[in-house]
Structures are given as structure tokens and as C-alpha cells.
Amino acid sequence: MGTVMELQTIEKPKTLMKTYNDTHAEQTVTRENNSLGSATVHRDDRSKTVGEIEAKNPRMVCRDVNVYYGDKHAIRDVNLDIGKNEVIAMIGPSGCGKSTFLRCLNRMNDTIDSCRVTGEIMMDGEDINDHKIDVVPLRAQVGMVFQKPNPFPKTIWENIAFGPRIHGLANDKEELDEIVETSLKRAGLWEEVKDRLDQPGTGLSGGQQQRLCIARTIAVHPEVILMDEPCSALDPIATAKIEELIDELREQFSIAIVTHSMQQAARVSQRTAYFHLGDLIEVGDTTQIFTNPKHQLTEDYITGRFG
Amino acid sequence: MNSSATTIDNFTPPPKRTIDRVRQGLAKRKAAEKRFKAYGLIAIILGLSFLAILFTSIISKGYSAFQITYVKLEVFLDPAELDPSNTGDPEVLSGANYGGLVKSTLRSMFPDVTSRSDKRALYGLVSTGADYQLRRMVMNDPSLIGTTVTLWAPADDDIDTFMKGHIDRDASESDRRLKDNQITWVDQLVAEQLIEKRFNTTFFTAGDSRDPELAGIWGAAVGSFFTLLVTLALSFPIAVAAAVYLEEFAPRNRYTDIIEVNINNLAAVPSIVFGLLGLAVFINFFGLPRSAPLVGGLVLSLMTLPTIIIASRAALKSVPPSIREAALGVGASPMQTMLYHVLPLAMPGILTGTIIGMAQALGETAPLLMIGMVAFIVDIPTGVFDPSTVLPVQIYLWADSPERAFVEKTSAAIMVLLAFLITMNALAVILRKRFERRW
């Protein structure tokens, strides 16, 4: 508890907010007038997350998560649940900390030297942020798909088989073949690549590569899949395929997806979390967030006033 | 609305349009570009011409070393001379006077030579190697005793030089290595077709010798091979391990910074210093044998380590971080990420660095002088503990020898060394192409 108290006393970057307020002073006044009497939270009030942070059936529970890059306080007191068999979308303007938060969930931030994470991220009754926790089994449980498709420069088969092999999920090559096939089928890539499994994964198109990366992730049978803007480098057709895939995968996995596209968030997710400058501003059902946001900042963002 | 209108009114267009100004400077820009290209071209032409001069000079001097003059001798293996008591004892046979047989054969070929000094000049036509060659024949097959064998014996180096036209026959007798009567005999042998130039196998199979016609490069080549073997076996694994640790696992702090600076500085240390270090540590302290490829390899490892470490680190650094993230993302441990993904991708760069380091080691002379690999060694080394020399040191030794015939040998040895280097570099290119992957 002591740590939490300390962290709350850390000052928020006032200067940034000030300039923002100055330039939009007029607008703010009119908005205030308009929202008199309604439940909308004023844009200056970012201290408390609005909405329901808890999921009905949580898989991961994050409490008071703070992330620092050296001296920079990148994420402040984020409390959020990742529910079972649901897709939670994280939206917000660039640099708001949504990717950083996502990377906390499987401790990918460990690879960044200057990065420090505090707070609790509970999974199966254990704090995954504890230094005693081994990241290898954690990452087998919490898989990740990255922004840029990053297949290994090896064959398609090798790409999928690598994870199951290092974790000892298959006893022989036949079992591996089976895992490769089912993973590719579930990623909707099997029909396109079944005749060229021995060709390099880097030779596929961008959308195929990203589905290959998803297949590689689900080949390990994780319980949670983290997706960091998985469609940002893809065209609309490939994006549609991935979105369909995400919807299907929801039946078996818990998915957290970071996206810049609000339409995508609206299409694929059940819950949405809105981040702003390192604060988790609002969490709620996706329909509610997009139709009836309770926080002024959320409304500004989803209506396209900034971001 | 009003204010914006005033801005437009006040806007004064520049005296000339941009396109006019661009056109104005265009000729100057193009001239500068042409000049820049010309400088580059001149540099390359200069470099290539120096290379051409180097190659022409070496090849024109050295190609004749690949041929050597042989004299045909019909030697009667006189039993009275070789094995008077007919014992058949190998020891008696090996100790017999084969030189006498060669000499008597020569005398019988030129019966009119009588005076003592003329005889000595006559014996000088044939290399002492003929004696050993004859002995080898008899030792291999003692039944030859009593018969007449045909022996193509290597000619003396001066005769060989004369046959190759490097000795001027019109010079006065005191100014050349051959006496007048020797030239007459050679002319006679040529007329009788008893002397001819053949491919010089000795050069590629023998060790060093004081006699140029018996000297070969093989001993030095084998010495170089053993030395490089030790160097590779030590420096490659150590350097790759060091590079991997520093690049992938070591924390970034002052200590690793110091290590990095030191490695970079070590790459610039003069190689003779490593030679002195090797002498002090490996030979004097650890008591390893002098002149041995083992010590040579150890010293050259010290020298190549920084080169390979730096190249390997650069190769590891150039592997995109997305590959590491991908592997870590499916739950690979840092070691698995390293072993299955990062290292294979860095391998072409690491191998190129290694081969460059090895090529550098192959051509290195100075540190090896300090640890005694400059000794005159006739025997071909059979292991890393045998005394031996290496190719560049052999070149140095031959270049230092006074005999005229060693000039072409030196150039020929340089050609062999260059062939080795070109092969190694070609190997580097092939390995690079073979392992290169795009991502």
C-alpha cells in the first residue's frame, strides 16, 4: 500500500495540460455550459478512471500499474481487468501509454533497460510483475502479436513449430505437423499456404505474414493474446480478415488489442478502455463508450476533436 | 477575412521565379556532381593500377620458379662402391657414398675434364639433392644395385638460373656465377638433350633448404595451416561468446563501457606487442615449445580476437529487434532466442569478420618472429608442437637469402600466399551469399 501512496503524490505534467487549456479555453467554456447537469466528467479531471474497470470473469487483474521510462512517468495508476473470452480494445492518441500497458501484461517491457513497472498484475493468484516469476512460462500463457508482422526468416512450418517445440508441446514431428496445421487453419491461412510450408515466411504478403504471426502465437495455446496494433500495416481487406479472426479467437482466448482505429475497436471488442497521456480515462462496454461516453476526453477523442 | 486579404496584398513575389533560380544554378550543380564522380573514378583507377603493378611484378618475377632444370644422369649403381661385402644391411646402404657415384657419372659424361678445379666445377653442375635422390631409390629397391639407373637430378641453382636466362653469358667470367667451361658443358648437355626444364614439384612438396633448387614452400604452408587451425579453434568460439555476451546479455554500465573501449583499443595494438606478450607468457611462463604453431596460434588469436569480436557485435546489432521480440513473445528464453534466431541471422557477418581476421593472421609476420617461428626449419611439421615456420616468414627468410635463385622463389611464395588469401576471401563471399537472409 505504501508504494501506491507514494506514487499518487507524483505530480502530473501540468504544463502540457495548461497549453492545451489555453488554446481551447473558449471551447471548454461552452462545453461546460452544455454539459451542465449531465454526468459528463470534466476534461481536467483525469485522476479517476470513469466506468467499470472490473470484468465479470477476469483473467488478469491489474491494480495501480505505473510504468516509468527512466524519469518519465509513462503510465499512472492504471486499474483494469482483462476478462475471459472477451476482446478488450485499448484506444487513445499516440503516446498515451496503451502499448506500454499492453507490454506490461507479458512483461515485454523487461527488454527495455530503462523501463520500470510497479503495481500488481494478478494472474492465477500470482503477481506476474514479481521478479520471482519466470517470464518464459508467463509468455507461453500470454502470447503477443506485434504491430509490424515479424515472421522469423525461416520456413512457414518452422515459424509455427518453433513455439511448440521449445515448450515441448509435441513429442514427435507428426504432432508438430498437426499443431502447425490446426494453428494455420485457425488463423485462416491454411488454404493459402498448405502447399508451401517449406518456403520462407517472409515471402508472404503483409496480411498473410500477420496471420502467420497470429498462428505462431496460438500454436503455443496461450490463454491471453495481446495484439499491438496488429492491422496498422495492412490494407482494408487483410484488416477485415484479421478482425474476423479475432472475433473467432475470442471463443477460446482472452484478447487485449491496441488500436488506432476506432471503427476497429467498435467492430471487434466487447469492452473498450480509453487512455490519455498515461492515464486510463474511461473503461466500459464498447457500445456505451462509443455511444454515450461519460468522460469529456473520451467524447472529444471518439468524436474526432483530437487524437 | 479582412486581415487575410491584407496579407495577400502585402505579399511581394520574389524578383525571379523559383524555377529560374534553379535553372541558374543547375549547370554548377551538375559540374560539381561530375567532378565528384571523376574523383571516385580516379581513386579506383589508381588503386587498380597499383594492384596491377604489384601482380605483374610478382608474377613476372615468380612464374619461373614453377619450373626447374633437371640433368639426366645414367648412374651405374656399383656394388663395390655401395655394398662391398654384399651385406644388404640397410645401414650400410644408407651410409654409402652416393655422392661419389654421381661424381663418377659426371666424369664419365665429360671424360676430358682432368684438372682438380675443373672437376670441382663439373661436380657443381648437379645439386647435392641428386645424392639423396639416388639413396632414396636404392633404399626403396636394393635390387637396383648392380644395374644402371636413369636419374633426372636437379641441376645446381646457378645452372638453373642460367638456363632461365637470368645469367648473362656475355659478361666477363669474373662477373658471373658460372665459369666459362661450365657454360660449355651446359651447352653440350642442351645439345645432347640431357638437360631440360620441368615442372617444379619440389617447390610444392619440400620444406625449406639452403639450396634454392631443393627449397620448397610445403613446410611453411603446413606450418601456416596448423597455426591458423589453432587460431581459428581459439579465437572463433571465444570471440563469438564474448560478442554474444556483450551484445545480448551484459548490462549497460561503466564496466561494459570500459571493456568495449579496451577491445577497440586492442584491435589497434601493434602486432609485435602481442608477439612479445606471447614470448613472455606462453614460452617463458608456461614453458610451451618455441617455434611451435601452438604458440603462434595463441599469439595470433590474441591479435584476431578484437577483430572478430567487433565484427560479430556489429553483426548481432544489425539483427532487427523485431526478431528478438517475436521469439520472446512466444516464450523463448533469451538463450533460445539467441541460439535459434539471432545467431543464425548474424552468422554471415560473423563469418566474414572471422575470415577477415584469419586472413590478417595468415599474413602476420612480426609477432611470429618474437616467438621463434623465424627459425630455419627443413622438416615438414606433423603437429602443432613441431617447430615450423609460416608462409609470410618463409617469404621474409627467402627475401633475405643471398642466392640469386631465391628471388624467384620469394615471388613464387608470395603468389602462393596471395592464392591462399584470395581463396579465403572468396570463401567469405560464398559463405555470406549462402547464409544471407532477407527480413
Q: What is the CATH number of the domain that holds A276?
A: 3.40.50.300
- Asked if the Cβ–Cβ distance from A151 to B252 is below 8 Å, we say no
What CA–CA distance (Å, rounded) separates B100 from B84? 14
Q: Report whether pLDDT(B368) > 90.
A: yes
Q: Report whether pLDDT(A113) > 90.
A: no
What is the distance in angstroms between the Cα of B333 and the nearest Cα belonging to chain A?
6
- Asked if the Cβ–Cβ distance from A217 to B330 is below 8 Å, we say yes
Q: Mark A81-119 as b/e (b = at least 16 C-beta within 10 Å).
A: bbbbebbbbbbbeeebbbbbbbbbbbbbbbeeeebebbb
Q: Report whether pLDDT(A39) > 60.
A: no
- Asked if the Cβ–Cβ distance from B332 to A148 is below 8 Å, we say no
Touching check for B328 and chain A: CB below 8 Å?
A: yes
Distances (CA, A) of A208 to A160, A192, A193, A211, A245: 13, 9, 9, 5, 12
Q: Do the domain assignments include residue A31?
A: no
What percentage of chain B exceeds 70 in pLDDT? 96
Q: Report whether pLDDT(A1) > 60.
A: no
**Residue A29, pLDDT score:** 39
H runs (alpha helix) in B63-147: 79-82, 90-95, 98-109, 116-123, 129-140
- Asked if the Cβ–Cβ distance from B328 to A108 is below 8 Å, we say yes
Instruction: Please name the residues between 112 and 131 in chain A that touch chain B, using a CB distance below 8 Å.
Output: 113
What is the distance in angstroms between the Cα of A160 and the nearest Cα belonging to chain B?
10
Q: Report whether pLDDT(A17) > 50.
A: no
Q: Do the domain assignments include residue A63?
A: yes
Residue pairs between chains A and B whose CB atoms are closer than 8 Å: 72
Higher model confidence: residue B1 or residue B33? B33
Collapse the DSSP code of A185 into the 3-class scheme (helix H, G, I; strand E, B; otherwise coil) and give the result: helix
pLDDT mean over A39-66: 81
Q: Report whether pLDDT(B439) > 60.
A: no
Average the pLDDT over each of A48-52, B112-116, B391-395, B396-400 and give the range with the smallest value: A48-52
What percentage of chain B exceeds 90 in pLDDT? 46
pLDDT mean over B265-284: 92
Q: Do the domain assignments include residue A168?
A: yes
B318, B319, B330: which to substitute to probe chain A, counting the most A Cβ within 10 Å? B330
Touching check for B340 and chain A: CB below 8 Å?
A: yes
Q: Pairing relation of β-strands A50-51 and A279-285?
A: parallel
Instruction: Using an 8 Å CB-CB cutoff, list chain B residues near A150.
Output: 320, 322-323, 325-326
- Asked if the Cβ–Cβ distance from B325 to A111 is below 8 Å, we say yes
Touching check for A190 and chain B: CB below 8 Å?
A: no
- Quick one: DSSP state of residue A155? B
**Residue A19, pLDDT score:** 42
**Residue A96, pLDDT score:** 87
Touching check for B322 and chain A: CB below 8 Å?
A: yes
**Minimum CA–CA partner of B436 in chain A:** A153
**Total tally of structural domains belonging to chain A:** 1
Q: Report whether pLDDT(A99) > 80.
A: yes
Q: Do the domain assignments include residue A73?
A: yes
What CA–CA distance (Å, rounded) separates A226 from B352? 39
Higher model confidence: residue A51 or residue A89? A89
Q: Report whether pLDDT(B332) > 80.
A: yes
Distances (CA, A) of A280 to A48, A96, A111, A260, A304: 8, 9, 24, 16, 18
pLDDT mean over B60-87: 87
- Asked if the Cβ–Cβ distance from B327 to A162 is below 8 Å, we say yes
> What range does the domain containing A152 cover?
2-12+52-302
- Quick one: DSSP state of residue A260? S
Confidence class of residue A145 from pLDDT cuts 50, 70 and 90?
very high
pLDDT mean over A169-195: 90
Q: Do the domain assignments include residue A39?
A: no
Q: Do the domain assignments include residue A40?
A: no
**Residue A2, pLDDT score:** 40
Q: Do the domain assignments include residue A82?
A: yes
Q: Report whether pLDDT(B318) > 70.
A: yes
What is the distance in angstroms between the Cα of A302 and the nearest Cα belonging to chain B?
31
What CA–CA distance (Å, rounded) separates B7 from B345? 59
- Asked if the Cβ–Cβ distance from B325 to A108 is below 8 Å, we say yes
Q: Do the domain assignments include residue A290?
A: yes
Instruction: Please name the residues between 85 and 114 in chain A that touch chain B, using a CB distance below 8 Å.
Output: 106, 108, 111, 113
Confidence class of residue B17 from pLDDT cuts 50, 70 and 90?
confident
**Minimum CA–CA partner of B334 in chain A:** A136
pLDDT mean over B13-42: 89
pLDDT mean over B156-167: 88
Collapse the DSSP code of B151 into the 3-class scheme (helix H, G, I; strand E, B; otherwise coil) and give the result: strand
Q: Report whether pLDDT(A18) > 70.
A: no
Confidence class of residue A21 from pLDDT cuts 50, 70 and 90?
very low
Cβ contacts of A139 within 8 Å, gap of 6 or more: A106, A107, A108, B328, B329, B330, B331
Instruction: Using an 8 Å CB-CB cutoff, list chain A residues near B252.
Output: 113
- Asked if the Cβ–Cβ distance from A139 to B327 is below 8 Å, we say no
- φ, ψ of residue A57 in degrees (nearest 5): -130, 75
**Residue A33, pLDDT score:** 40
pLDDT mean over A268-296: 90
